Amino acid sequence: MFKLWGKIVKDGRTLRDVVITNEKEDTRTHKVLDALNEICYQFDLSRPIWLDANITQFQRHKKAQFKQDSFIEAIDFDYLEISVLEEDFFYPAN
């Protein structure tokens, strides 16, 4: 099972949060992107752009913060943070 936690933070406080669960047999990348899409849908946000800093942060720490520079539209919070809470290790057959 794969779980991704998404939260909107402003002034050091969590305004909204949600945990997305994915039990499909798919790659980790697809699970992360699908969960991020669902988080953005539930929060009524445009999808953020993955900058190099976000990718590096996510690879190292299993979490990433998307600030204004990752969004095309203006946001009224400091950042959207995603964190992996639980992940399975599925390796699709070639």
- Per-residue pLDDT at 90: 54
As to burial, measured by CB atoms within 10 angstroms (0-12 exposed, 13-18 middle, 19+ buried), residue 48 is: buried
**Structure-model confidence comparison of residues 16 and 87, the more confident one:** 16
- Using 50, 70 and 90 to split pLDDT, how confident is the model at 87? confident
- Per-residue pLDDT at 80: 98
Q: Number of structural domains, the chain?
A: 1
Give how far Cα 13 sits from Cα of 32, 51, 52, 53, 67, Å: 24, 24, 26, 23, 15
Residue 94 in domain: no
Amino acid letter for position 53: A
- Per-residue pLDDT at 89: 64
Range of the domain at 67: 2-86
Task: Indicate if the pLDDT at residue 32 is higher than 90.
Answer: yes
Task: Indicate if the pLDDT at residue 84 is higher than 90.
Answer: yes
Residue 76 in domain: yes
Task: Indicate if the pLDDT at residue 44 is higher than 90.
Answer: yes
The answer to whether the CB of 9 falls within 8 A of the CB of 46 is no
Q: What is the mean pLDDT of the chain?
A: 92
C-alpha closest to that of 35 among 76, 81, 78, 70? 81
Cα–Cα distance between 20 and 35 in angstroms, integer?
6
Residue 92 in domain: no
Residue 7's CB: how many other CB atoms inside 10 A?
19
Report, as an integer, the average pLDDT of 32-45.
96
